[in-house]
């Protein structure tokens, strides 16, 4: 145990505690230290508004994301029209209210430290 009573932990996204699959993608989740961390994989052609919106039943993605981009190119359009292109090696922070899609032929893989706890989960 740590000084404050917390315990040290190690988990592998390769042995996810939860897997959520949806058209063109999946998220693999582990929980530790009161946080949920996830690895999302989006295949070429994936877009939030056509793949996850029918599950989430919201006008746009309402999950805030704090992500490290492992591979591929992800385009994100915020509800105010602002766009961001994220590539491997980038770190991004997106507030609730956006759409996103894969650009090109390489799958997008991101590790998300904030927004996947309820992602692609039926309401």
pLDDT of residue 20: 94
Distance CA 121, CA 18 (A): 12
Q: What is the pTM of this model?
A: 0.91
For residue range 57-99, what is the model confidence (pLDDT) as tens digits?
999 999 999 999 999 999 999 999 999 999 999 999 999 999 9
pLDDT of residue 4: 63
> Is the pLDDT higher at 33 or at 3?
33
Picking from 45, 44, 93, the residue whose alpha carbon sits closest to that of residue 68 is 93
Give the domain range for residue 91: 18-112
pLDDT of residue 89: 98
Domain assignment present for residue 78? The answer is yes
Domain assignment present for residue 77? The answer is yes
- Determine the average pLDDT of the residues in 22-38: 94
Domain assignment present for residue 1? The answer is no
Which H/E stretch holds residue 18? strand 18-22
Overall domain count for the chain: 1
* Torsional sign, CA 40, 109, 77, 67: positive
pLDDT of residue 1: 54
Domain assignment present for residue 26? The answer is yes
Domain assignment present for residue 123? The answer is no
Long-range contacts of 80-88 (CB under 8 A, 24+ apart): 86/110
Picking from 30, 58, 23, 8, the residue whose alpha carbon sits closest to that of residue 117 is 30
pLDDT category at 31 given cuts 50, 70, 90 is very high
Question: What percentage of the chain has pLDDT greater than the value 90?
Answer: 82
Domain assignment present for residue 63? The answer is yes
Domain assignment present for residue 119? The answer is no
Q: Is the backbone of residue 17 left (phi > 0), alpha (psi -120 to 50) or beta?
A: alpha
Domain assignment present for residue 3? The answer is no
Task: Please report, for residues 31, 37, 76, 105, the alpha-carbon distance to residue 117 in angstroms, rounded to integers and kept in the order given.
Answer: 9, 8, 20, 27
Return the CATH number at 108: 2.60.120.10
Distance CA 120, CA 56 (A): 6
């Amino acid at each position: 145990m740590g000084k404050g009573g917390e315990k040290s932990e190690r988990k592998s996204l390769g042995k996810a505690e939860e897997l959520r699959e949806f058209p063109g993608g999946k998220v693999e989740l582990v929980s530790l230290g009161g946080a949920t961390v996830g690895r999302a994989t989006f295949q070429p052609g994936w877009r939030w508004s056509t793949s996850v919106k029918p599950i989430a039943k919201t006008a746009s993605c309402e999950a805030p994301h704090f992500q490290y981009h492992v591979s591929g190119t992800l385009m994100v359009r915020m509800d105010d029209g602002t766009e961001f292109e994220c590539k491997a090696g980038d770190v991004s922070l997106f507030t609730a209210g956006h759409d996103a899609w894969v650009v090109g032929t390489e799958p997008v893989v991101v590790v998300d430290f904030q927004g996947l706890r309820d992602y692609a989960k039926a309401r």
